[in-house]
Amino acid sequence: MEKDPFVYAHEREDKIVWMSQNTNQIETSPEIMEAMKEALENKKFNLYPHRDGVLGLKDILLDDLNLKDGFDALITNGAIEATYTLTRALLSEGDNVIASDPSFMPIHHQIKLSGSTPKEIDVYKEPYRMTVEEVNEEVDKDTKMILLIDPLNPLGSSYTKEDVKGICEIAEDNDLLVIDDITYRDFAYEHTLASEFVPERTMFVYSFSKNLGFAGMRLGGLIMPVGYSEILHKYRTNVLSANVIAQVGAKKALETKKEWLPGMLEQSRKNQSIIKKAVEDIPDVFLPVYPSNTNMFVIDIEKTGLDPQKIQEKLLYEHDIFVRGGNYLSNIAGDKFVRISFTVPEERARKFAEKFPEVLDEMR
């Protein structure tokens, strides 16, 4: 039987250079760990959290996004519960949602579970994000939402203020909701929230997995205009809230963000440039988007004629480096790229930079 790469990687967890899931293993702040250890010692897990989450977390999350009035937040089991809740509560059979390809495809699956269709715009071409014109062309009488993943997994592109404004105007003109998935916002050089233009139509999807490195804690948020909070709460997969210890850590992290975020970003961007230097010397290979506004980018290998899946396997099984072949992220361009995330300790980014050119050389 064929090996499952995830089982293989988890069996060798500490040896693996994890560049496959956009997780974050760069140090943030010891204070976050201290807060969680204290919560653990005081057995904060004996009680269910309040329906709104650990007290104070929701407010600090809204403050972090500068959303003063008119918004409410649910603390969810990862951003993935937020998108599930949104799609289940607000979509019906026959609706459609404007989205991109490549994209974070699990959300497209959730759209389909609600009997709706993702209308995918090909963004594997300049400018590597949806344009306002393309979004406008796709809208029809059954369109209910625009899925704006900004910055975009897997490409690392992000939308300019003009783009966001244009997309929001389309939402306004056609009575649509904007799902603003801001999972990677903290990595962006610049970022515009859709609420700047259509606050009453914007649903934010938030994750603590990437900025804080909390992927295994399963914590996220759904932020919405106040009128929507009751109905969305009912559609949660877990109305009893989310992991308390994780929430304590997240609260401390947001309170101390100014102290740890710049250092984490600096390391992430340094790793990104180390990898770029290694990649730009390889014939027939290029980076569609650089610099990335996330903690990942894709490396286009189409001209090499190599299969991304085979590159993934060789890097994993021979070098303990786990990257992701494009087919997980794209129906149309999955055979053209591999995705690499670089929020790993620097020596691990350097290992990738050394081995990737060698592996491609051997495979040609």
Nearer to ligand PLP by Cβ, of 84 and 197: the residue is 84
**Torsions phi, psi for 145 (to 5 deg):** -145, 155
C-alpha pair distances (Å), 302 with each of 2, 157, 340: 25, 19, 16
Nearer to ligand PLP by Cβ, of 22 and 29: the residue is 22
Q: Does the protein bind ligand PLP through residue 222 (CB under 6 A)?
A: no
Q: Report the site for ligand PLP in 133-172 (rule: CB under 6 A).
A: 149, 153
Of 53, 118, 156, 220, the one binding ligand PLP by CB under 6 A: 220
Nearer to ligand PLP by Cβ, of 104 and 322: the residue is 104
**Residue 203: CB minimum distance to ligand PLP, A:** 13
Q: Does the protein bind ligand PLP through residue 341 (CB under 6 A)?
A: no
In the chain, which ranges are continuous DSSP H helix? 5-11, 30-41, 57-64, 79-90, 105-113, 132-138, 161-174, 229-234, 244-255, 257-280, 308-319, 346-363
**Residue 215: CB minimum distance to ligand PLP, A:** 5
**Residue 72: CB minimum distance to ligand PLP, A:** 19
Q: Report the site for ligand PLP in 90-109 (rule: CB under 6 A).
A: 104
As given in the structure block, the two tokens for residue 39 are: 């919560």
335/337 Cα distance (integer angstroms):
6
Nearer to ligand PLP by Cβ, of 242 and 359: the residue is 242
159/42 Cα distance (integer angstroms):
44
The one segment of 50-58, 78-86, 253-261, 347-355 that binds ligand PLP by CB under 6 A = 78-86
Give the amino acid at 132.
V
DSSP 3-state of 219: coil
C-alpha pair distances (Å), 3 with each of 9, 13, 231, 310, 325: 10, 16, 43, 13, 16
Nearer to ligand PLP by Cβ, of 86 and 149: the residue is 149
277/331 Cα distance (integer angstroms):
29
Of 75, 80, 91, 98, the one binding ligand PLP by CB under 6 A: 80
Using DSSP bridges, classify how beta strands 96-101 and 143-149 pair: parallel, antiparallel or unpaired. parallel
Q: Report the site for ligand PLP in 14-33 (rule: CB under 6 A).
A: 22
Q: Does the protein bind ligand PLP through residue 183 (CB under 6 A)?
A: yes
Nearer to ligand PLP by Cβ, of 80 and 359: the residue is 80
**Residue 74: CB minimum distance to ligand PLP, A:** 13
Q: Does the protein bind ligand PLP through residue 215 (CB under 6 A)?
A: yes
**Residue 219: CB minimum distance to ligand PLP, A:** 7
C-alpha pair distances (Å), 286 with each of 39, 51, 159, 335: 46, 48, 21, 14
117/140 Cα distance (integer angstroms):
12
Contact 64, 223 (CB under 8 A): no
If binding means CB under 6 A, how many residues of this protein chain bind ligand PLP? 13
Cβ neighbours around 274 below 10 Å, total: 17
Nearer to ligand PLP by Cβ, of 29 and 211: the residue is 211
Closest residue to ligand PLP using C-beta atoms: 78
The one segment of 74-82, 230-238, 252-260, 317-325 that binds ligand PLP by CB under 6 A = 74-82
Give the amino acid at 253.
A
31/22 Cα distance (integer angstroms):
23
**Residue 81: CB minimum distance to ligand PLP, A:** 7
The one segment of 76-84, 130-138, 230-238, 344-352 that binds ligand PLP by CB under 6 A = 76-84
Residues that bind ligand PLP (CB under 6 A): 22, 78-80, 104, 149, 153, 181, 183, 207, 209, 215, 220
